[in-house]
Structure 1
Amino acid sequence: MKELLEKNDLLKPPKIGEIIEGKIIGKGKSSVFLDLGPFRTGIIYGKEFYAVKDKLKNLKIGDKVFAEILDLENEEGYIELSLSQASNKLIWEELKEKKENGEIISVKILGANKGGLITKISDIPAFLPVSQLLPEHYPKVEGGDTIKILRELQKFIGKELELKIFSLDQQSDQIILSEKARESEKIKEILKNYKVGDVVEGEISGITDFGAFMKFLPAEALAKAGGPALEGLIHISELDWKIIEDPTEIVKIGEKIKVKIIDISGNKVSLSLKALKKDPWITLEKKYKKGDVVSGKVTKFNPYGAFVQITPEIQGLVHISEFGTKTKMEKLLKIGEKYNF
């Protein structure tokens, strides 16, 4: 805001679009007059007056306000001003400063949709996407049910959250907020104590259709001390060597497990449970060789072919090209039946 106002040096003639400070010297039923010092007298009237009528009621003679110059000289010789446009410019300038300084702001959540939380900052709509929530606030809904996700998000309505401004778009009046950004630096510092390959213990804190979230047990003490909780994701493909449809086949919420860190990117941690399990492919390679006939149970079809379970942990794919078409494949094979391949 300071930089914006410094642009309007009092020694320079005013320009349309600039913000200027003036002192109220007169108030009428539909107009307000401002003393602009060496730049004569300014006036707020017409639609610009009615746009801020309620605000002007609280102002008195002698009060100073900021206004934007709309016209350097109207028909009556006054500099035509806008209080509402100046306020809007100053608000956006202030928001830019807050973003650049990484300032944490407190906002009240006013609404929710399946994509995130809705609020306002200085009457400007603002949005907090689900992806920008802290792990402990992320709606970990099994199956990714959008109705259940919305219900979880609606629990935040009326609550105050400490957030940072993630992005600003003045042209579309859009503010995107982030809760994760508030703790990102702290989390990065804590993660310096970990490296890829470390085995860590934790508790399953949430399950979705794409995997399971695990809260690091040491992070609980950090959270109590005011530090951020650490959570990592075990992708469904990293839960077990066998192909699974539902993460709850392997883990349950509240279950304590050990996992291996397989990636740390920024403040995101990727974990693997199967990395601590014996690799069944090693045994399979010793038992079978190319060209061997194997017996297996058909578990499912997809556009690429049929999945066949050879051992409890290993499944193979019989490619669709072996049958010609999906229809022929489904005529020759039945799910749940065993065949030699």
Structure 2
Amino acid sequence: MPTTHDTRTTHTLTTTDANVTATMPLPPAQAAALERAGVPPRVGDVVEGTVIAKDTNKVFLDLAPWGTGIIYGREYLAARDVLRRVKMGDTVTAQVVEEENEEGYIELSLKEARRAMLWAEAEQAVANRQIFELVVKDANKGGLLLEWQGIPGFLPASQLTPEHYPRVEDGDKDKILQELQKLVGQKLRVSILAVNQEDSKLIFTERAPEAADVSSEASDAATSARSGGSQSSRKRDTSLLAKYEVGQEIEGEVTGVVDFGVFIKIEEGLEGLTHLSELDWGLVSDPRKLFKVGDRTKAKIIEIKDGKVSLSIKRLTPDPWEGAKNRYHKGDKVNAVIIKYNKHGALASVEEGVAGLVHVSEFPSEEVLRHTLKLGEKYPFVITVFEPKDRRMILSYAGEKPWLTEKDHNKTANE
């Protein structure tokens, strides 16, 4: 049975090994569901339920007071080794993949819950500035490719320590790549700088504080030698940060463009990150289409924490959802352009910066959805959920549905 928890509360999730459990705090997005007392869980929320029934390919969970959850189909197959071992009365943690299916059940995924827990660990590592020793897998002209817990990540050249930074006088990119390739196969001490769960990627920095505990005098000496420069750099950063505050507008030079966003040099020795989600109110799939190294741009400081500066470019302009809340209402018919597919369905843009989710459950399959709704094309929809405060909109396709029978069409018309 789901309960309301503080975001610091830990939850246990059984992995594919029935004898292994992983305990970690939920990420903010999932923990929020458990804080909304009395509000039904939404897609993406992690919940706990008690097993009340089992079938050969289904497990039912009691999610009182919200209803009954079900794990079945491909979600059951993905976790069948675990689910075959659960017994009546066992507590299971899972993630909501559909709020209510045609039979009235809340559809759940054990696989997605495991994934959510892993991302929770990554977010916790960011908060704790945890240090990891990771092997450099590859290099490109922008930085190094790493991997943590099976999740690919990127270490921008701008986030390397002076010891490893590729110093090339003429800035030749091929020469920079040659220098970076020398690090492939080496272990670097890094921390996670940012988490991009949607694209399943991480961004790392080598500039994080070094771990205090070491296992040998040799390691201690090496750590001390490395951290000397880092300590002076952190002191300089602290001094520089004193001149800035949240809400302040700055202008700087773009020093790095990566999948996660854009690095901007505020002044010598001080750099900020504009996350992908803060570049524009509209959907940005590739920051490189908007910025390149050397560009000058303005940004707003939205957070200063642990020596790091978070920036936003989109917040220099009004939030389009503020205007949208007066123009749209639940039940309105709108035309929207398909701008992206994701695991839940498709995103459709109603206007610049305002988009809604078209859930895959409206279609016989993901393939039918993508065949029916083409990227870049405009289609009619009905707004079924509109929560501008949370920037949340759900759309129902109102176009032709050839897969429906005449009986289905009549039922839909009567509704």
TM-score by length of 2: 0.41
Bigger radius of gyration among the two = 1
TM-score by length of 1: 0.50
